[in-house]
Chains A and B, each alone.
Chain A
């Protein structure tokens, strides 16, 4: 029985900036969509406050858990940048660990978000007892947190796909564009929470 061997050529060089530039434009669009929701939230909240009514019922939103979400996401910024630097240094093991840690932090954020939403006792349509302005506040609470969750799911999918391609040996110091693109989108999503944290949870 004879053995046939095939000599495979190395993959062609590709432009290193294409994926990052694409991610930049996509991140800009995602940021504007999220900020559109935040701005309308601010407009509606200001309108309610001008009438002297309460926006969120006092004591309904805790300060701690959203802060933990923010802290977790800040840690994830470090890990995703760690992954990028590691791949640029051709340190694949560190890159895998950093990407895996980023995904673990994302799982922690989903868990905390679930807790926050359950803890408030809010519903999407708002309870009758909350009154019109309270119902609107609860509606916005769900829409903004929901939109953030959707963007976080997209970011997780992006990092996961990048992680799998990294495991398959695809990135190198010269071709780290995929991880840089995922990092850019991830950081955009973290910025979304930074704004949500300040606007929805701190200034309430």
Chain B
């Protein structure tokens, strides 16, 4: 038997202006698809819906905190604690990480000239496992579970808490499987000529992000396993300790590091890639230093590696390395923003009218606020570690990541939905999320200076703190409204009568813009030409121009 190489089986694309969206399909299609674009859309759609739900929870938590004396929405401090912890975990692993995974699942294979994602069935399985894990985790918290109980775990609550721990583990497991699919795609499925230094910056940032998630989130899984086994099988150790410890629960103390500095920054790594991908296109020129951005994103990834600083085992908040990580991470963010500004300065006639450009710049600004707040938080004389600043940093990082997700969705909507998303609504959402996010995060930063504790419900320490709590509620409500706007925008893009996108509406530089909108099965009607730089479409247009000349 001889081995034969046949050309890739691809469908012929149609012209973008008359393309019929191929994202529709019955339930059977969505349950069985092996098309990376459909799988990615599933991740995006559910994470956006969960974003709306999470922000509503955040707003309600804000109301409760703003008037802790008279408002009793949750019926007690313990219920407040359960929802507060759910808010943090859900924002990170049920909204931000899956949103980026969804966008990457759609876009990354096209950016590297691949016909599909690696292990498409595993990618689909990861989504459904994540969805079921999310359902189990949220349900378990709602029936009285959570990551421990402030008033001690009763035997009635033990099962629900065990279910929360295992549900969280299931969510982490599925995120890891999805990460393996994306990282493997980037490493092993690039088209001819595209070595790793030539991959688009979003793709590179996803390689860095998934690598960091793959080596750090399993540590959280081991924390969860210890807590579950201890709690469920007799409690010989302290990991599943049912009694509260130092104002939190023993279980939460082991999970808390995932959503705290430095690990919390790991969820925002793709933001730098989205910024680095959108800005050169908006400027109509190459990025001033693609290779420097590769290094800066890698440095940001290194500085967001967590797991080594777990307060449950060692209070390392005054350690040199913790402080150094918190301060040095300013460099890659500042460097990325400087690179974006320089690239924009190189361009001509930039109108700042595109939603994706505004969103990517807005995300960069909010991330800068986050890392500055984080840097202030680790400076010892300020004593901000156990203060509301912690929540402030968390909210700023998460909202900045979501704004970057908005940028990605509006930018790559032609490839994700086959249509453009509404520009007016998009700008409104971006403005709302940027302002809301800054209000939400920076008020908690300032409250930290006023000695407001991190999460415990307590009367305000001063009238200023009281006023800041109210401002924070306004920010939370704005973010919730932004989430609803995002849902509306995405739904609008999924309508069959939405504005037609065109194959390359932004004059893109990378390979995803070389195919139709929506892309056919197999992504490309013919294999992309050999890649010789990080902007293959610019190279092609350059050679065309020289040929014409």
Contacts and interface: CB of A to CB of B under 8 A. Distances in A.
Nearest to A150: B225
A1 interface: no
A4 to B, nearest CB: 21
Nearest to B185: A18
A26 interface: yes
Nearest to B119: A22
A22 to B, nearest CB: 4
Contacts of A21: 118, 183-184, 187-188
Interface residues of B, number: 40
Contacts of A30: 218
B237 A36 contact: no
A135 interface: yes
Interface stretch (B228-236, B444-452, B484-492): B228-236
B219 interface: yes
Interface string B482-513: 00000000000000000000000000000000
B236 A18 contact: no
Given A9-B4, A9-B6, A18-B188, A29 B180 contact: yes
A139 to B, nearest CB: 4
Contacts of B313: 40, 43
B6 A40 contact: no
Contacts of B219: 32-33, 36
Q: Is the interface of A mostly helix, strand, loop or mixed?
A: helix
Contacts of A28: 214-215
B235 A125 contact: yes
B222 interface: yes
Contact of B221 (A26, A36, A43, A139): A36
B189 interface: yes
Given A22-B180, A139-B229, A33 B218 contact: yes
Nearest to A36: B222
Contacts of A13: 3, 5
Contacts of B217: 29
Contact of A22 (B1, B2, B6, B184): B184
Contact of A10 (B1, B181, B215, B229): B1
A138 B184 contact: no
A143 B236 CA distance: 12
A147 B214 contact: no
A181 to B, nearest CB: 11
B215 A143 contact: no
A44 B313 CA distance: 9
Contact of B236 (A9, A17, A36, A136): A136
Contacts of A9: 4, 6
Interface string A32-49: 111011001001100000
Nearest to A174: B3
B307 interface: yes
A9 B238 CA distance: 61
A25 B176 CA distance: 9
Choose among A25, A139, A140 the residue with the greatest number of B CB atoms under 10 Å from its CB: A25
B179 interface: yes
Nearest to A127: B236
B6 A12 contact: yes
Interface in B182-215: 183-184, 187-189, 210-211, 214-215
Interface string B152-193: 000000000000000000000000100111011001110000
Contact of A25 (B183, B230, B235): B183
B179 A22 contact: no
A29 B184 contact: no
Contacts of B222: 33-34, 36-37, 40, 147
Given A15-B189, A26-B180, A10 B3 contact: yes
A124 B229 contact: yes
A12 B10 CA distance: 14
Given A125-B234, A135-B236, A29 B2 contact: no
A147 B200 CA distance: 39
Given A18-B189, A32-B219, A33-B221, A25 B307 contact: no
A126 interface: yes
B216 A32 contact: yes
B223 interface: yes
Contacts of A135: 236-237
Contacts of B229: 124, 139, 142-143
Interface string A76-113: 00000000000000000000000000000000000000
A9 B358 CA distance: 52
Contacts of A132: 236
Nearest to B216: A32
A13 B236 CA distance: 54
Contacts of B236: 124-126, 132, 135-136, 138-139
A105 B181 CA distance: 31
A12 B5 CA distance: 6
Contacts of A40: 222-223, 226, 313
Interface of A: 9-13, 15, 17-18, 21-22, 25-26, 28-30, 32-34, 36-37, 40, 43-44, 124-126, 132, 135-136, 138-140, 142-143, 147, 174
Interface of B: 1-6, 118-119, 176, 179-181, 183-184, 187-189, 210-211, 214-219, 221-223, 225-226, 229-230, 233-238, 307, 313
13 contacts: A12-B4, A21-B118, A29-B215, A32-B219, A36-B222, A37-B222, A40-B226, A43-B313, A124-B234, A125-B233, A126-B236, A136-B238, A140-B237
